């Protein structure tokens, strides 16, 4: 393993190497296979809020290529093909994301566990965080577990599954939102990102699960509560570090969601994007029951080192790349 | 009227909100992993100086405020308005009392100051950081006391009152920092 050194601006490259090495050790001990999957794909992520980089075709049978925004589609194809548990430290790309916590090109640690329920994977995320804290000579982190509903109740004093769009807009305006009325999902995003996250304690971990079904992406619906899904996040203080799902295995449902994404994109004046038919085909063959999660590696390093700006942990940020 | 997108937001940008001109003091983009992005800004109302927090959906357009700063010469007051002149174009502007409230006590005729224009009329006036003004009234100090330990109030030719060291006499020209209102030193003429 690479030796860890004390923090100083010139040592950050070594700190990153140390972190990557510690992550690989963690998964080696658990016999999770490291994989590499393509950066370029003929299909795109249709997610409404993620902007994809586009470039020339990779092969003769396609017209254009897209830089991946996540390795998840390839990972599911590997799982269908019988890879077993896998992880990847993947460079991913998202246009128009440059803030204190975003860089258009960043590293995602993505992993999948066969047979894991959402709860099992949530526990493993916390184990990874605690393992890495230990490696970085930090004490174990207290972690609180909330449902999406409970954390809204506790911190913002309302039930996100009961409140209606008009009430949400009224609250948003009182909290300083200026502009056209927000749709329900965007208003909840406002409440979560602008109102709730800044209230969270700095050195506390937060596991939040059972997000609204509209925010499911690739997660299964909740078996008993149809307005919720089996999606979770891990936040370090107010910073979103991990996003995970008990994975949707139903090919038709997945195709419907991609098509709905494209409808939403068109309604917002964006272009529809080519759906990953290879993924749909793989799901039709049968994705084994599994859960998967993605962790922002740059943010993780930032948090472990107590830094506040993602630029501080990048060798070259967007402005100098 | 020109507009700005939130992606152009940066400190110092002048925007129009609910009819008032504001300057952006702080701009923070907030983006949940799977959700709507927002720009959270601290903005200062250029009319009353109050700072407030607002949040915009990223990608929204906001009207630009036609605000600019110009160095101008203070000419005179007619009792109701304060008159300034752009030394380059000789164009004259009149400012209402509210616009000069905080700074007029530092200005004497012919001084150069910064005038903030909104829709081509003075919104606020900022004095130079340092001004040199004559003391028109102050108690006689203690002879030979140059320690600067104590202080006394002194009225300047523009009407401003500042604390000066005990040894500084009436009739002296002194340098004052207008940001803090503090005496800096005597000016040897």
Q: Per-residue pLDDT tens for B90-100? A: 999 999 888 88
Contact B36 A49 (CB under 8 A): yes
Q: Does residue A146 belong to any structural domain of this protein?
A: no
Lateral strand order in the sheet of A239-246 = A33-34, A86-93, A105-114, A290-296, A239-246, A231-236, A205-209, A143-147
Q: What is the pLDDT of residue A37?
A: 98
Which chain A residues touch B36 with a CB distance below 8 Å? 49, 182, 185-186, 189-190
**What DSSP string runs through A248-313?**
P--HHHHHHHHHHHHHHHHHTTPPP----HHHHHHHHHHPPSEEEEEEEHHHHHHHHHT-S-GGGG
For residue A99, which residues of chain B lie inside 8 Å, CB to CB? 28-31
Q: Which domain holds residue A213?
A: 9-141+203-313
Closest CA to A107 of A23, A211, A1: A23
Contacts of B120 (CB under 8 A, 6+ apart): B66, B93
- Of B175, B181, B179, nearest to B163 by C-alpha is B181
B10 in contact with chain A, both atoms CB, cutoff 8 A: no
Q: Is residue A166 part of a domain?
A: no
| Two structure tokens written together for A245 | 């799902």
CB contact under 8 Å between B55 and A194, yes or no, is: yes
CA distance A292 to A246: 7
Residue A3 lies in a domain: no
Query: Is there a contact between A206 and A200 (Cβ–Cβ < 8 Å)?
Result: yes
Q: Is residue A1 pLDDT above 50, yes or no?
A: no
The mean predicted confidence, pLDDT, of chain A is: 94
Residue of A97, A180, A186 lying closest to B36 (CB–CB): A186
Which of A98, A175, A217 lies closest to B34 in CB terms?
Answer: A217
pLDDT tens string A209-252: 999 999 998 999 999 999 999 999 999 999 999 999 999 999 99
**Does any domain span residue A256?**
yes
Token pair for A175: 């909290």
Closest approach of chain A CAs to the CA of B34, in angstroms?
6
Q: Domain for residue A153, yes or no?
A: no
Site of tokens 């830089």: A67
DSSP secondary structure letters along A73-92: HHHHHHHHTT--SEEEEEEE
Once rounded to an integer, what is the mean pLDDT over residues A149-160?
97
A152 located within any domain: no
Which has the closest alpha carbon to A66: A99, A74, B42?
Answer: A74
Calculate mean pLDDT across residues A17-44.
97
CATH of the domain at A273: 3.30.930.10
Residue A207 lies in a domain: yes
Residue of B nearest to A296 (CA): B33
Count the domains in chain A.
1
Residue B16, helix vs strand vs coil: strand
Return d(Cα A245, Cα A129) in angstroms, integer. 18
For chain B, what is the mean pLDDT? 90
pTM of the model: 0.82
Position B149 pLDDT exceeds 80: no
pLDDT digits (tens, 9 = 90+) for A49-79: 899 999 999 888 788 999 999 999 999 999 9
Q: For an interface test with B, which of A48, A103, A193, A299 has the most B Cβ atoms less than 10 Å from its Cβ?
A: A193
- Taking CB atoms and an 8 Å cutoff, what residues of chain A touch B55? 172, 175-178, 190, 194
Task: Provide the 3-class DSSP secondary structure of residue A35.
Answer: coil
Res A7: pLDDT = 57
Contact: B29, A179; criterion CB under 8 Å: no
Rg (CA), chain B: 22
Confidence of residue B147 (pLDDT cuts 50, 70, 90): low
Sign of CA dihedral A108, A112, A113, A116: positive
Q: Angle, nearest 10°, between helix axes A118-135 and A297-305?
A: 50
Distance CA A218, CA A207 (A): 18
Cα–Cα distance list, B147 to B103, B134, B140, B181 (Å): 31, 22, 16, 21
- B7 and A240 in contact by Cβ < 8 A? no
A151 domain-assigned: no
Average pLDDT (B49-76) is 93
At A279, which helix (H) or strand (E)?
Answer: helix A277-286
Share above pLDDT 70 across residues of chain A, in percent, rounded to a whole number: 97
Q: Find chain A residues with C-beta within 8 A of B15's C-beta.
A: none
For B41, nearest residue in chain A (alpha carbons): A176
Band (pLDDT 50/70/90 cuts) for residue B146 is: low
How many whole angstroms separate alpha carbon A128 and alpha carbon A300?
A: 11
Res. A6: pLDDT tops 70: no
Token pair recorded at residue A107: 């590293």
- Contact yes or no for A182 and B36 at CB 8 A: yes
DSSP one-letter code for B159: S
Report the pLDDT value the prediction gives residue A5, as an integer from 0 to 100: 46
Nearest by CB: A178 against B33, B37, B54: B54
Pairing mode of beta strands A205-209, A143-147: parallel
What are the φ/ψ torsions at residue A10 (nearest 5 degrees)? -80, -15
Whose structure tokens read 């890879």?
A83
Burial of B36 (0-12, 13-18, 19+ CB in 10 A): buried
Please, which pLDDT band fits residue A184 given cuts at 50, 70 and 90? Answer: very high
């Amino acid at each position: 393993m690479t030796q860890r050194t004390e923090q100083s601006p010139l040592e950050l490259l070594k700190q990153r190497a140390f972190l990557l090495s510690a992550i690989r050790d963690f998964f080696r001990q658990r016999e999770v296979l490291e994989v590499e999957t393509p950066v370029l794909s003929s299909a795109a992520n249709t997610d409404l809020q993620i902007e994809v980089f586009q470039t020339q075709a990779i092969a003769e049978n396609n017209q254009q290529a897209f830089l991946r925004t996540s390795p998840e589609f390839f990972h599911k194809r590997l799982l269908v093909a019988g890879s077993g548990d896998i992880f990847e430290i993947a460079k991913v790309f998202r246009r128009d994301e440059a803030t204190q916590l975003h860089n258009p090109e960043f590293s995602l640690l993505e992993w999948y566990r066969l047979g894991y329920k959402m709860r099992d994977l949530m526990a493993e995320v916390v184990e990874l965080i605690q393992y890495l804290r230990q490696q970085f000579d930090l004490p174990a982190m207290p972690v609180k577990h909330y449902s999406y509903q409970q954390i809204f109740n506790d911190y913002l004093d309302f039930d996100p599954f009961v409140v209606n769009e008009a009430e949400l807009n009224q609250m948003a305006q009182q909290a300083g939102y200026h502009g056209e009325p927000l749709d329900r999902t965007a208003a909840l995003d406002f409440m979560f990102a602008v109102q709730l996250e800044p209230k969270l304690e700095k050195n506390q971990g937060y596991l939040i699960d059972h997000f609204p079904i509209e925010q499911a992406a690739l997660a299964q619906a909740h078996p008993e509560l149809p307005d919720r899904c089996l999606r979770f996040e891990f936040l370090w203080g107010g910073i979103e570090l991990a996003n995970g799902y008990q994975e949707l295995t139903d090919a038709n449902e997945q195709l419907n969601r991609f098509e709905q994404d494209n409808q939403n994109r068109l309604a917002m004046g964006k272009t529809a994007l080519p759906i990953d038919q290879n993924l749909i085909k793989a799901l039709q063959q049968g994705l084994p029951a599994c859960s998967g999660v993605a962790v922002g590696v740059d943010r993780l390093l930032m948090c472990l080192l107590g830094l506040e700006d993602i630029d501080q942990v990048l060798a070259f940020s967007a402005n100098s790349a | 009227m020109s507009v700005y997108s939130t992606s152009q937001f940066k400190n110092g940008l002048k925007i129009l909100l609910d009819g008032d001109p504001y300057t952006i003091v702080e701009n923070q983009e907030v983006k949940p992993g799977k959700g709507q992005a927002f720009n959270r800004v601290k903005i200062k109302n250029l009319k009353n100086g109050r700072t407030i927090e607002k949040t915009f959906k990223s990608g929204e357009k906001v009207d630009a405020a036609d605000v600019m700063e110009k160095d101008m010469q203070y000419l005179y007051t007619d009792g109701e308005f304060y008159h300034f002149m752009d030394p380059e174009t000789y164009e004259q502007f009149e400012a209402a009392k509210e616009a000069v409230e905080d700074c007029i006590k530092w200005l004497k005729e012919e001084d150069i100051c910064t005038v903030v224009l909104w829709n081509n009329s003075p919104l606020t006036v900022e004095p130079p950081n340092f001004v040199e003004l004559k003391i028109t009234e102050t108690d006689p100090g203690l002879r030979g006391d140059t320690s600067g330990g104590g202080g006394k109030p002194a009225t300047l030719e523009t009407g401003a009152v500042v604390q000066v060291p005990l040894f500084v006499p009436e009739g002296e020209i002194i340098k004052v920092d207008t940001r803090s209102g503090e005496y800096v030193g005597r000016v040897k003429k």
